Chains A and B, each alone.
Chain A
């Protein structure tokens, strides 16, 4: 199976001496849904920042066998420009790349429709709920047609119901667009529900504890949460985490 990128013995120590990540290697298959699972502060976000090129690893490297992929990044907060309407926020990546404004706006409108916000193109971020702001953020990541989507605990701040809806929408978008996803989360159930493969990281400095091929069948619908295999997988992962997490 071809892969988009390979992490080769990645390590990151910050200038203040904090070791965030230790010797992480993994291959990210094209079109796969990956979760990086671990407790808070175990360097999960650092992995995403290294992949995105926003930080430089202390050791090791990120290899792109087919050349640097188009990236989308979704932060824990919606991270929208407060002064710009939803459509202007979504059109930003295209306009920065030099796409004419008219085309960029048309594609942004399509992306907003994809996330179910076609009626809110002119709304300002403060006029939208937290879940809707996150949808705008997702539309902005999708508009540039990313090959790899990096998500840094994107739904952690949302309520349970909104989070569930966004999980299902994300799965639908992923099956339609077939980008690969690297999804950082500290929720075991979210990881088991969403992903095909789960990389479990230890507490700081983060190192790979387990690389699990998720046995839960696809397509994922809310009903799979009731399957015995879902609960068994979640229990196994919790056992791995609790065994090793010392803090």
Chain B
């Protein structure tokens, strides 16, 4: 049986072991560092370039968070509009779908031209928002449609206003859907931000994606690894935070699933 302590210790031991193998293999087969740098070289990059990498990470994180917040607000707002007006849904949802299915890399040059190269950060923000927006819209729309029609009738019977119905019925009822969409959007906002930085790569954006391109051009593979590591960490932290928020909001309502007979 796995005790909780072992559950933590074993993965760490495996990780340390793999890093050791990596370090040893690079030295043993004398793999050149522009193909595969040893973990120690990556650590060295963190020590020498840590501050500037963190600065880039901060920029990418800022874009990601802004795009995420915008996506949640606009996605929920549009879903509420769709839920309260069939006409609005019929008119607008084709555009939302079109925006979603068009590859964001293909839209990037156009957006970049529109906002101007000197404001590349804005283009990156818009592109990341486009990527993160759709899962929020889709999940919120599904959640709002799944509201118990009898409860909706009950609210009508007691003459509940639009905001009362939204706040007391529609939002809490669609929360499980919404939160799963928001969790997806958190990850996608980061993906969108990085893809957009790649697409807009002109030196005017100085996020982590640009650092990866720059390091790649100079064959500084250890730096690429360091930047990648930071991106992965950011993704994990965003996902973990959103999972905790989801748990905090829903665990009382859904309870321990094992007790939910």
Give me the interface of A with B, judged by CB distance under 8 Å: 49, 52-54, 71, 73, 75, 77, 79, 81-84, 92-93, 95-97, 124, 126, 144
- Leading 7 A-B pairs by shortest Cβ distance: A79-B150, A83-B253, A96-B158, A75-B150, A83-B172, A96-B160, A93-B158
Q: List, in ascending order, chain A residues with CB within 8 A of B255's CB.
A: 124, 126
Q: How far is the CB of A182 from chain B (nearest CB, A)?
A: 14
Q: Is the CB of A81 within 8 A of B169?
A: yes
Q: Tell me if B47 counts as interface (CB < 8 A to partner A).
A: no
In Å, the complex CA distance between A75 and B149 comes to 11
Q: How far is the CB of A63 from chain B (nearest CB, A)?
A: 19
Q: Tell me if B33 counts as interface (CB < 8 A to partner A).
A: no
Q: Is the CB of A54 within 8 A of B157?
A: yes
Q: Is the CB of A73 within 8 A of B252?
A: no
Q: A83-B172, A83-B175 are in contact. Are A97 and B151 (CB under 8 A)?
A: no
In Å, the complex CA distance between A49 and B153 comes to 9
In Å, the complex CA distance between A53 and B150 comes to 14
In Å, the complex CA distance between A75 and B150 comes to 7
Closest residue to A55 on the B side, CB-wise?
Answer: B153
Closest residue to A127 on the B side, CB-wise?
Answer: B255
Cross-chain contact of B164 among A79, A96, A124, A126 (Cβ < 8 A): A96
State which size class the interface on B falls in: 20 to 34
Q: Tell me if B159 counts as interface (CB < 8 A to partner A).
A: yes
Q: Is the CB of B253 within 8 A of A96?
A: no
Contact with A along B132-173 (1 / 0, CB 8 A): 000000000000000010110111111110001000110011
Q: Tell me if B48 counts as interface (CB < 8 A to partner A).
A: no
Closest residue to A76 on the B side, CB-wise?
Answer: B150
Q: Tell me if B260 counts as interface (CB < 8 A to partner A).
A: yes
In Å, the complex CA distance between A126 and B155 comes to 21
Q: List, in ascending order, chain B residues with CB within 8 A of A75's CB.
A: 150, 154
Q: Is the CB of A79 within 8 A of B253?
A: no
Q: How far is the CB of B167 from chain A (nearest CB, A)?
A: 11
Cross-chain contact of B154 among A73, A83, A97, A124 (Cβ < 8 A): A73
Q: How far is the CB of B157 from chain A (nearest CB, A)?
A: 5
Q: What are 6 A-B residue pairs whose CB atoms fall within 8 Å in the complex? A: A52-B153, A73-B157, A81-B173, A92-B168, A93-B158, A96-B158
- Determine which residue in B156, B158, B172, B173 has the highest number of CB atoms from chain A within 10 A of its CB, and name it: B158
In Å, the complex CA distance between A92 and B173 comes to 15
Q: A77-B150, A124-B253 are in contact. Are A54 and B156 (CB under 8 A)?
A: yes
Q: Is the CB of B168 within 8 A of A124?
A: no
Q: List, in ascending order, chain B residues with CB within 8 A of A49's CB.
A: 153
Cross-chain contact of A73 among B148, B153, B159, B175 (Cβ < 8 A): B153
Q: List, in ascending order, chain B residues with CB within 8 A of A83's CB.
A: 172-173, 175, 253
Cross-chain contact of B158 among A77, A84, A97, A126 (Cβ < 8 A): A97
Cross-chain contact of B260 among A53, A54, A126, A144 (Cβ < 8 A): A126
- Determine which residue in B153, B155, B164 has the highest number of CB atoms from chain A within 10 A of its CB, and name it: B153
Closest residue to B148 on the A side, CB-wise?
Answer: A79
Q: How far is the CB of A195 from chain B (nearest CB, A)?
A: 23
Q: Is the CB of A79 within 8 A of B172?
A: no
Question: Which chain B residues in 150-203 approach chain A with CB under 8 Å?
Answer: 150-151, 153-160, 164, 168-169, 172-173, 175
